[in-house]
């Protein structure tokens, strides 16, 4: 009886169980890779917020340029003048 039962279980597992398991996880991976409607709404909100922030920054830059045309030359990036250490930057700014 064992001589017949073990090969039947092995063949059933190979030809039914294993493909079912593989296809099951393939469909799980494909469904997990798509965006839900909530994700799409969140991305749209983030895009809108980023656009508004960009508009605000452009407005601030226009105002600052109108008040002081040379403001961009005054504020230098510390990396541009060779400062790469955050502690050094804090000492210079103080």
Give the model's pLDDT for residue 94.
Answer: 46
Helix locations, the chain, DSSP H: 2-12, 18-33, 37-67, 71-74, 86-93
Residues 9 and 22 in one domain: yes
- Write out pLDDT tens, residues 2-48: 888 998 999 999 999 999 999 999 999 888 777 888 999 999 999 99
67 vs 72: which has the higher pLDDT: 67
Distance separating alpha carbons of residues 19 and 3, to the nearest angstrom:
25
Residues 70 and 40 in one domain: yes
Residues 17 and 43 in one domain: no
Per the prediction, the chain carries an average pLDDT of 82
Residue 25 lies in a domain: yes
Residue 93 lies in a domain: no
**Domain count of the fold of the chain:** 2
Q: Rounded to two decimals, what is the model's pTM? A: 0.46
Give the model's pLDDT for residue 79.
Answer: 61
Asked whether residue 69 carries a pLDDT value surpassing 90, the answer given is no
Residues 12 and 25 in one domain: yes
Residues 21 and 54 in one domain: no
Residues 68 and 39 in one domain: yes
């Amino acid at each position: 009886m064992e001589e017949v039962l073990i090969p039947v279980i092995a063949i059933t597992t190979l030809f039914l169980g294993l493909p079912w398991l593989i296809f099951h996880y393939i469909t799980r991976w494909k469904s997990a890779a798509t965006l839900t409607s909530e994700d799409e709404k969140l991305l749209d909100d983030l895009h809108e917020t980023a656009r508004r922030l960009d508009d605000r920054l452009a407005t601030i830059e226009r105002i600052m340029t109108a008040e002081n045309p040379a403001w961009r030359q005054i504020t230098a990036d510390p990396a541009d003048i060779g400062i790469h250490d955050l502690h050094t930057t804090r000492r210079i700014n103080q």
